[in-house]
Amino acid sequence: MGRGRAKAKQTKVARELKYYSPNTDLSALERELHEGSTFRTSERYIDEPEPEEEDDDYGRWASGQR
């Protein structure tokens, strides 16, 4: 005995979480996503230098060149 109360409490909390829908500020979300993508595009992808080709010993070995 005693498990009934705990289970009822868990069920109540789970139901509240399942059906809870807070008001979402879509304009703030759009601003946040736009700012994040601008940062990544300008600093991370465009400004990174192209990697230089490295000497690939395995590639030469696999193709039969030495």
pLDDT digit string (tens) for 2-14? 789 999 999 999 9
**Token duo for residue 29:** 């979300």
Q: Over 80: is that where the pLDDT of 25 sits? A: yes
User: Would you state the pLDDT for residue 62?
Assistant: 78
- Could you give the C-alpha distances from 7 to 11, 18, 53, in angstroms and in order? 6, 16, 61
2 or 15, which is more confident = 15
Q: Which residue is associated with the tokens 């005995």?
A: 1
Q: Over 70: is that where the pLDDT of 27 sits? A: yes
pLDDT in tens, 29-49: 899 898 876 545 445 555 566
Cβ(43)–Cβ(36) under 8 Å? Answer: no
